[in-house]
Structure 1
Amino acid sequence: MNRECSRNLYDRALSVTPGGVNSPVRAVRPYPFFVKRGDGAHVIDADGNRYLDYVGGYGPLLLGHDLPQSVQSALQSQLADGPMYGAPAEVEVELAEFVTRHVPSVEMIRFVNSGTEATASAVRLARGYTGRDKIVVMQGGYHGAQESTLVQGASGRTSEPSSSGIPSAFAEETITLPFNDAEAARELFEERGDEIACMMTEPILGNYASVPPVDGYLETLRELTEEHGSLLVFDEVMTGFRIGGLQCAQGKFGVTPDVTTFAKIIGGGFPVGAVGGRADIIEQFAPTGNVFQAGTYSGHPLSLTAGLEMLRFAAKNDVYDHVNGLGEKLRSGLTDILADRAPEYTVVGQDSMFKVIFTRDGPRDLKGQCEAGCQQNPDCPRFDYCPKDKTDVDRAETERWERLFWPAMVEQGVFLTANQFESQFISYAHTEEDIEETLEAYKEAL
């Protein structure tokens, strides 16, 4: 493929932007292609090359790049009425009512501007509500670019910052645990449960290759937090309104947290975030409570209009049946391909999310394995080999995925997230023909 225009744009960007990008995950080698426009399930780069898009803006584009007329019309109407007001607008109430109707944990909601702001606000809220300082997060979990969760450390111990610029005092209040390790969680809460304000976790380890929970794990977290007076916070920035449909991942797994954070899909491709949960907790936000949270762009009418109309469209049409059906088809096809080409590799994903993890080991006999991606089924011959936490994914062939596989897929016109860790997404714009084309590309690249 000719990418001369992208190369020239990258050369210009290097002079005015750190690393030539505005988010480090976009810094692929030798340089990224620059997107000119989206078209349904595709993106077209500055040189006119066309790619099947499974990045989807890293999750927000449930409907793909071509918005339905109802969404476009609502956005145009909002633009005509003015971009923002510095005062409440009806759309804030309408989207709040939609979310509280459908998501099990949400009785009240506060809209903010990003997933990072949502999780940072949730941490402050948990500390204010409980009067405690310690929080618990999962190793490999990602909760935005905020001081309290950009940490690393041994299981159950005080952490250290994982980024320069974060005072160690922030990390000292954060404890990390391995995902899917119920015993480690029990030991921690037995020892320090009365210090812990909240346990924050993604229901699926979405930023670490979509590792799913083992049976009973989320239920254990729910029981421990309730027993010790801590809050259970589900970070559904990625899974919200994608996994489990309108009930989100908490509905799919049948575990109701105290607080839930949202972003991505609830903004329909525009900047957004939200913190929802039990009314007695959310009312601790100012002005009804003493936990300060505010923002000039919070509840931005354009973002909330896009999110509301996208969700209304999803509720009235077959969006989730379509994307989840394609996800099942794609993961099943990938499972068959790997059985032949790379039986040690693992397919993961739920509903419209998917990933192939380049794991290094697998069973000799694949008979009876999960047919459409790892479900952490103890009866599956892969169960002891399927990744359960960050350490398992780190042991995979991450360099091979990034340096050889990803470029090979791009050459075949398939755009995947740029490393072994980020999930991939199917949109309503994808078709069965797109899935078949993608499977052929995997065959060739593997």
Structure 2
Amino acid sequence: MNDDQSRALYDRALSVMPGGVNSAVRAAIEPYPFFVRKGDGGHVIDADGNRYVDWVMGLGPLLLGHDLPEQVRAEIQRTASEGPMYGTPTEVEVDLAEFVVRHVPSVEKIRFVNSGTEATVSAVRLARGYTGRNKIVVMQGGYHGAQESTLVEGDAENPKPSSAGIPQSFAEHTLPVPFNDEEAMRDVFENHGDDIAAVLTEPILANYGIVHPVEGYLETLREITDEHDSLLIFDEVITGFRVGGLGCAQSHFGVTPDVTTFGKIVGGGFPVGAIGGRAEIIEQFAPSGPVFQAGTFSGHPVTMAAGLETLQFAAENDVYEHVNRLGDRLRSGLTDILADQAPNYTVVGTDSMFKVIFTREGPSAGLLEDQCDAGCVQDPDCPRYDYCPKNAADVKRAETDRWRRLFWGQMKDQGVFLSQNQFESQFVSYAHTEEDVDETLEAYKEAL
């Protein structure tokens, strides 16, 4: 493929932007990323005119794909034509809030903000303000945005910043534990329970290879936080309105958190974040409570219109049936391909999310017939159960360099755009087709 324009654009970008990008993951591909000119359904077209099947979907927000249905596009354009923003409330933000409250089990009230990071920052501050405690438990390797309270690595007894610019004194209030490790969670509450404001976790580790909870793990988190009067916060920035449909992953798993953070799909492809939960907790936000939170662009009318129209379209059409069916076809097809070509590797994902993790070990080939048939769901009866990733460290031990340096480029050369590293999820949209799935599976066969 010719990439002269992308190379020239990256050369210009390096002169004016750090790393030539505005978000670090975009520069993960070497020697340089391709620059997108436009989207077309389930595809993107780059600056050189190359066309790719797009399974990145903006890293998750584009549930409907790049070509929005006419009614969604028309409402966004109508709202934008009436003025960019006002600094006052608008009816559409009330409409979107009512929609979320009707459909998501944990949400009685909601505050809209401008990004997933802003949502998790605000949720952490809210938990501390509501409980009067300082410490937050997070999952090792979990990602909750570019914020000081969660850019922390190590373990609960030796937390340390994972980024320059974060004081050690900040990191000491964050307690990382492994995902899916009930014993570690009980230990951290035994040692610090009186000062733990909340456990903050994705219901599925969706930003680190797609790791399902083992059976009973989320229920254990609900039980422990209740016992210690701490809050359970689900970060559904990625899984929200994608896993479990309009009820989100919490409805899929049947576990209701105290607070939920949202982003991506709830804004219909425009910048957005939100914090929802029990009314008595969310009302701690100013002006009704003492926890300060505000933003010039919060509840932006164009974003609110895009989010509302996207979710209403999903509710009234076959969006989830379509994307989940294609997701199942992808994962099932990949499972069959790996059984023949790379039996150590693991297919992960659920609903409209999918990924192949280049795990280094697996069961003997003769046992693969009884494995999970459409992505790992931590089934104890699956022969792969002892080998599939249970936490972020397991994903990190996979062949991540092979995935990025060899496999990703081979897929790109065949016209398939996958997320820029092994950790980010891939997503199916309403605009994708059976033909896109078939083309992608053939590309996997060739690249593997």
Give TM class, smaller chain. over 0.9
In the TM superposition, what whole-angstrom CA distance separates every residue of 1:179-206 from its partner, at most 9, and x where no partner exists?
Answer: 0001111121122211100000001101
Taking only aligned residues, the RMSD between alpha carbons, in angstroms, comes to 0.6
Q: For 1:268 and 1:193, how far apart are their aligned partners in 2?
A: 38
Q: For 1:375 and 1:267, how far apart are their aligned partners in 2?
A: 28
5+ residue gaps, structure 1, are none
Are the aligned partners of 2:209 and 2:392 in contact in 1 as well (CA < 8 Å)? no
Q: Which residue of 2 aligns with 1:406?
A: 408
Q: Which residue of 1 aligns with 2:359?
A: 359
Matches within 5 A, 1:224-263: 224-263=224-263
Q: What is the identity percentage for the equivalent residue pairs of Structure 1 and Structure 2?
A: 74
Which shifted more, 156-165 or 193-202? 156-165
Structure 1 residue identity aligned to 2:376: C
Structure 2 residue identity aligned to 1:40: G
Q: For 1:165 and 1:363, how far apart are their aligned partners in 2?
A: 43
Q: Which residue of 1 aligns with 2:61?
A: 60
Q: Which residue of 2 aligns with 1:194?
A: 194
| 1:426 and 2:428 matched | yes
Structure 2 residue identity aligned to 1:381: P
Q: SS of 2:409's equivalent?
A: helix
Matches within 5 A, 1:376-391: 376-391=378-393
| 1:90 and 2:91 matched | yes
Which shifted more, 190-199 or 310-319? 190-199
Q: SS of 2:281's equivalent?
A: helix
Matches within 5 A, 1:44-443: 44-154=45-155, 156-364=156-364, 365-443=367-445
Q: Which residue of 1 aligns with 2:16?
A: 16
Give the CA deviation at 1:426. Answer: 0.4
In the TM superposition, what whole-angstrom CA distance separates every residue of 1:354-407 from its partner, at most 9, and x where no partner exists?
Answer: 000000000002131000010100000000000000111111000000000000
Q: SS of 2:234's equivalent?
A: strand
Are the aligned partners of 1:61 and 1:268 in contact in 2 as well (CA < 8 Å)? yes
Structure 2 residue identity aligned to 1:421: F
Are the aligned partners of 1:153 and 1:159 in contact in 2 as well (CA < 8 Å)? yes
In the TM superposition, what whole-angstrom CA distance separates every residue of 1:87-143 from its partner, at most 9, and x where no partner exists?
Answer: 000011000000000000000000001000000000000000000000000001000
Give the CA deviation at 1:158. Answer: 4.1
Q: For 1:407 and 1:386, how far apart are their aligned partners in 2?
A: 25
Aligned residues: 445
Q: Which residue of 1 aligns with 2:43?
A: 42
Q: For 1:79 and 1:326, how far apart are their aligned partners in 2?
A: 33
In the TM superposition, what whole-angstrom CA distance separates every residue of 1:409-435 from its partner, at most 9, and x where no partner exists?
Answer: 000000000111000000000111110
Q: For 1:409 and 1:296, how far apart are their aligned partners in 2?
A: 41
Give the CA deviation at 1:300. Answer: 0.4
Q: SS of 2:112's equivalent?
A: strand
Structure 2 residue identity aligned to 1:390: A
Are the aligned partners of 1:158 and 1:173 in contact in 2 as well (CA < 8 Å)? no
Which shifted more, 386-395 or 98-107? 386-395
Structure 2 residue identity aligned to 1:259: V
Structure 2 residue identity aligned to 1:134: K
TM-score normalised by length of structure 2: 0.99
In the TM superposition, what whole-angstrom CA distance separates every residue of 1:227-251 from its partner, at most 9, and x where no partner exists?
Answer: 0000000000000000000000000
Are the aligned partners of 1:40 and 1:429 in contact in 2 as well (CA < 8 Å)? yes
Q: SS of 1:359's equivalent?
A: coil
Structure 2 residue identity aligned to 1:312: Q
Give the CA deviation at 1:77. Answer: 1.0
Which shifted more, 70-79 or 373-382? 70-79
Structure 2 residue identity aligned to 1:313: F
In the TM superposition, what whole-angstrom CA distance separates every residue of 1:326-376 from its partner, at most 9, and x where no partner exists?
Answer: 000000000000000000000000100000000000000213100001010
Q: For 2:215 and 2:20, how far apart are their aligned partners in 1?
A: 43
Q: For 1:122 and 1:70, how far apart are their aligned partners in 2?
A: 33
Q: SS of 2:360's equivalent?
A: coil
In the TM superposition, what whole-angstrom CA distance separates every residue of 1:151-177 from its partner, at most 9, and x where no partner exists?
Answer: 0012x2241110001111110100000
Give the CA deviation at 1:36. Answer: 0.2
Structure 1 residue identity aligned to 2:302: L
In the TM superposition, what whole-angstrom CA distance separates every residue of 1:263-320 from its partner, at most 9, and x where no partner exists?
Answer: 0001111000000000000000000100000000000001110000000000000000
Q: For 2:269 and 2:208, how far apart are their aligned partners in 1?
A: 22
Q: For 2:195 and 2:134, how far apart are their aligned partners in 1?
A: 7
Q: For 1:149 and 1:207, how far apart are their aligned partners in 2?
A: 14
Structure 1 residue identity aligned to 2:228: H
Q: For 1:190 and 1:245, how far apart are their aligned partners in 2?
A: 36
Q: SS of 1:366's equivalent?
A: helix
Are the aligned partners of 1:158 and 1:174 in contact in 2 as well (CA < 8 Å)? no
Q: SS of 1:204's equivalent?
A: coil
Structure 2 residue identity aligned to 1:377: D
Q: For 1:376 and 1:35, how far apart are their aligned partners in 2?
A: 37
Q: For 1:47 and 1:167, how far apart are their aligned partners in 2?
A: 44
Structure 2 residue identity aligned to 1:304: M
TM-score normalised by length of structure 1: 0.99
In the TM superposition, what whole-angstrom CA distance separates every residue of 1:26-62 from its partner, at most 9, and x where no partner exists?
Answer: 1010111100000000000000000000000000000
